[in-house]
Amino acid sequence: MDLLLAERFPVPGGLQVTEERFTISEILSQRAALHPERKAFTYLHNGIGESESVTFGQLHQSVMNLAGYLMSKNLQGSRVLMFYPAGLDFVKAFFACLQAGIVAVPAYPPRKNRSLGRIHAMVNDCQPAAILATEAIARDLERNFNEDSLLNKIPWIITDGISESGERSVENTPEPESLAFLQYTSGSTGNPKGVMVSHLNIMVNSYNLHRHFHTSGGTCSVLWLPQFHDMGLVLGVLQPVYAGYHAVFMSPVNFVAKPVNWLNAISNFKATLTGGPNFSFELCSDKISETEKSEIDLSSLQMIFNGAEPVRAETLNRFYDEFKVCGLKPGTIFPGYGMAETTLSIAVLGVKHKRLYLQVDGPSLSKNLAVPVEDGSNESLRIVSVGVPEGDTLIKIVNPETLLESKSGEVGEIWVNGLSVAAGYWNNEQLTGELFKARLSNSELAWLRTGDLGFIYDGELYVTGRLKDLIIIRGRNYYPHDIEEVAGRSHKSIRKSYCAAFSADYHGSEQLVIVAELERTFLRKPNTEEIIRFIIQDVAGEFEIQPYRVCLVKTGSLFKTSSGKLMRKAIKNALFNNEFEILAEYISSVNPGYYSENTEESTSVLDFLVKWVSVELNQGEEVNADLPISAYGIDSLKAMELTDKTKSLFGFEWPPYLFFEDMSIQKMAEEGENLR
């Protein structure tokens, strides 16, 4: 390097950081010294009202106290699992691990009395020395863990109150190149991948995000993203400290149960920065009423990012059309692209972008060629621009077979190089070598293979799909999310965003398979013949391909990652292992080689519960209070809605996992009355 790190990646606010202390821990220390009374984080209880806040000075002291305590347990250099609900306890514990030189492993706390398969896989992979948690989480899980032969050997450390007790000084300076945390990517429980993120990765990616979003001490963000997930962790927890601004956050549960909470918080705190995955914008457009819109003011927003899953132009346009009445300014929504393997961001559409999306020829795209066409073309597709990289990040489009750089206008695999790219996967040298140390046929520079397909046009990156999920039938390429979009809107009974498309071998050739969930309101008497006919008709008409097999499954069947992405491989495996309850299916009797061109007032908890289950889960039919709610097919989204509704009516809330237990509705109501 010709320039020192601190010169290449200057920290906003004029902070002076030496090479040896080029870490986010040093940034927190300096922020606390420069403006100790400035608010750092505010957590909103139930998505409304200010529950608790912490200043930079208070946060730093809490972190040092907890870091000193953890160091007294001789955990330096070890991995520790972190089980926390949304809140400030996670923030303090995470920064304490960074300060103490302990490798944090954020994880979603498993549900009580539920499968521990994913936790088993993570434990086997990273061999944690301890579990950090709040007392409430430990109380819920310790019994399950104590009865487990693998997990009962791991000691628990309850951090409640430790960060506020005593005055500890920590004589430890983490090195920039040292490992900071492991970010386990969503995926199979049998093959976990822990991305090794260093302190240097954090700093460089924070610099890139600062450049993308123009953050400063005057920024205010409002987010609901899970803190254990890469976007919620890096952008929601680390970035506010890096740039020195106030971050407001709420639990994902409180957003999903009532999306208006998110926009109300933006309005109340006059946020300038917010964002989330594509589905969150769809949810707001679907769920927020005109009356609720009249009380929302979004005029303070300067940057809204959309990332973590395929970004759709229709979603962006619809969200703006729905909420411009709330003062939402045009040109404030910016698609972005990133992944845990690059710490977080790779590219984001900037304020000086050329265009929001590009209209390309569909048939040409199926042949890996991006050919721009005029708007309105019958066979055209809209591909959203995700902008350009920042800092030292480089992007190349590469032919995945020849490993040569693709020509201009060609679709290929997206390869990334830069100091925000992580070191690889923990304890997996083979996969690290294959994906993090890839080389072009004519170059020795190491690149990260993202597994995503895309092209560069007019200097901006366009993502078209996933390489491993690409459907290739009769020599043509089909992108599963495009087929899923068409199939998903073909009939009103299909659950939005819960339709999976993939290819499978039938009679020696690859054929298209579609698995679709039905909306719960249509499960009682679905017209399955009509639904299947509409799917086949719309997919064939749009893509000139005949689905070979179409399966309709009940609500809550299809697997998704924590960020809302369909797990197509897991869905495919479950289908062929007969793990789905299939409501109806179609299997073509045509030879696979054939191709056709034509193709709310309640006085008691019991009264409320019975009415709610009847209306929301049982088509208005009579409900048996001796049965558990799970007997009526509640899913996690409905569980969140029920929790929020109970809180608003009766002032208490059940843990959502209770709705999936065998406790009868009558018994739940009795326990609820005791809590009122």
What residue has token string 């040896």? 20
pTM, two decimals, is 0.77
| Residue 547: strand, helix, or coil | coil
Could you read off the pLDDT of 358-390 as tens digits, one per residue? 888 888 888 889 988 887 666 788 888 999 999
Q: What is the pLDDT of residue 643?
A: 78
The residues spanned by each domain of the chain are 18-257, 353-466, 471-587, 605-675
405 exposure class (CB count in 10 Å sphere: 0-12, 13-18, 19+): middle
Fold for 605-675, please state it. 1.10.1200
Q: Pairing relation of β-strands 52-55 and 509-518?
A: unpaired
Expressed in angstroms, the distance from the first to the final Cα of the chain is: 64
**Which residue(s) pair with 454 in the sheet?**
412, 463
Q: Does the pLDDT of residue 20 top 80, yes or no?
A: yes
DSSP code string of 454-473: EEEETTEEEEEEETTT-EEE
CATH classification for the domain delimited by 18-257, as one of 3.40.50.10330, 3.40.50.12280, 3.40.50.12780, 1.10.240.10 = 3.40.50.12780
pLDDT for res 295: 94
Residue-level pLDDT at 50: 74
Number of H helices, E strands in the chain: 22, 26
What pLDDT digit, counting tens, does each position of 637-676 carry?
567 778 777 877 887 777 655 665 667 888 888 888 877 6
Specify the pLDDT at position 64.
93
Q: How far apart, in whole angstroms, are the C-alpha atoms of residue 317 and residue 670?
A: 47
Choose among 253, 147, 113: nearest CA to 628.
Answer: 113
Q: Which fold has domain 353-466?
A: Luciferase; domain 3 (2.30.38)
pLDDT at 615: 79
pLDDT tens digits, one per residue of 427-485: 999 999 999 999 998 778 899 999 889 999 999 999 988 777 778 776 567 878 888 98
Per-residue pLDDT of 103-129, as tens digits, reads 999 998 876 655 677 788 889 999 999
**Per-residue model confidence (pLDDT) at position 631:** 55
**Does position 187 have pLDDT exceeding 60, yes or no?**
no
Higher-confidence residue of 308 and 159: namely 159
Residue 1: its pLDDT value, please?
38
pLDDT value, residue 447: 96
- Reply yes or no on whether the pLDDT at 598 is more than 50: no
Would you state the pLDDT for residue 191?
67
Q: Which three-class secondary structure state does DSSP give residue 565?
A: coil
Q: What is the pLDDT of residues 397-436, one digit of tens each?
A: 999 888 999 988 899 999 999 999 999 999 999 999 999 9
**Fold topology of 471-587:** GMP Synthetase; Chain A, domain 3 (3.30.300)
Query: Which pLDDT score is estimated for 105?
Result: 97
User: What DSSP designation does 522 have?
Assistant: G
pLDDT band at 188, cuts 50/70/90? very low
Side chain identity at residue 485, one-letter code: E
What length is written for the chain? Answer: 676
Per residue in 612-644, pLDDT tens? 888 776 656 678 888 777 655 465 556 777 877
